[in-house]
Amino acid sequence: MSLRPRQQHILEFIQSYLDENDYPPTIREIGKAVGISSTSVVNYNLERLEELKLIERNREVSRGLRLVGYEPERGQRNLRSIPLYGAIAAGKPLPVLDDPETVAENVEVPIDLLPRSGEAFALKVKGRSMIDALVDDGDVVVVRSQPGVETGQMAVVEVLDPPDEAGATLKKYYDHGDKIELRPANPDPAYESFWLHPSQIKVHGRVVSVLRQYS
């Protein structure tokens, strides 16, 4: 079965995007590149490419697309570019971005520092509440996107309520049943745990590695 011109265009864009970024595009990015405003139309054409075994897809993540037979350039194999979604508070929560997909900035991360599965993103740390976990102000944390974490893991958590504390924060996550403790890793008494009901928070991901630039 031969490809339609639109499907060929999509396939070529996916390869060029992979060559440039070393990770696949989202459905929205594909549509913008090939002039399709409807995500359902993009999805239809991706399904046809999948039927032809030209691509493979994981529909549980936004960039869960693989080009069958694609091999990155030799110089790209040790690095991957992931989106940098601004700042994360290691202290009082910071406002959450309304639409993270609009963020254009990316950061190059060694493959060994990425999670073995799932989608990853990066955040720049603002604050010093996690210094005993070897995360300092100005560091960049690499986060595996996931809706839940285990007790004791370092997580990106959005505080939904009360309104005066709303925002995203970086803390150790402890589940005490009817209460969730978001615990800092700094002995300074100025940094205290947040104690919240599970309905007051939303987990965005688990920290898997830290990047630090020395001057």
In a shared domain, residues 194 and 98: yes
Q: Hey, what long-range contacts does 30-34 have (CB within 8 A, 24 or more apart)? A: 34/6, 34/9, 34/10
Q: CA 21, CA 65: separation in Å to the nearest integer?
A: 13
In a shared domain, residues 156 and 99: yes
Task: Write the single-letter amino acid at 8.
Answer: Q
H/E stretch holding 7 reads helix 5-21
Mean pLDDT across the chain, nearest whole number? 86
Examine the residue annotation and report whether 172 is marked as an active-site residue of this protein. no
In a shared domain, residues 141 and 63: no
Marked catalytic residue, from 171, 172, 202, 209: 171
Query: Is pLDDT larger for residue 212 or for residue 49?
Result: 49
Q: Is the pLDDT of residue 11 over 70?
A: yes
Marked catalytic residue, from 38, 81, 129, 193: 129
In a shared domain, residues 132 and 161: yes
Dihedral Cα 39, 60, 8, 104, nearest 10 deg: 70
Output the six-digit token pair for 133: 């976990």
Asked if 63 and 21 touch (Cβ cutoff 8 Å), the reply is no
Asked if residue 92 belongs to a domain, the reply is yes
Output the six-digit token pair for 22: 């070393």
Task: Say what the pLDDT of residue 70 is.
Answer: 76
> What mean pLDDT is predicted for residues 44-64?
83
Domain span at residue 87 reads: 80-211
> What mean pLDDT is predicted for residues 25-47?
92
In a shared domain, residues 59 and 86: no
In a shared domain, residues 32 and 91: no
In a shared domain, residues 90 and 163: yes
Asked if residue 75 belongs to a domain, the reply is no
Examine the residue annotation and report whether 193 is marked as an active-site residue of this protein. no
In a shared domain, residues 167 and 205: yes
Task: Say what the pLDDT of residue 156 is.
Answer: 95
Domain CATH code at residue 9: 1.10.10.10
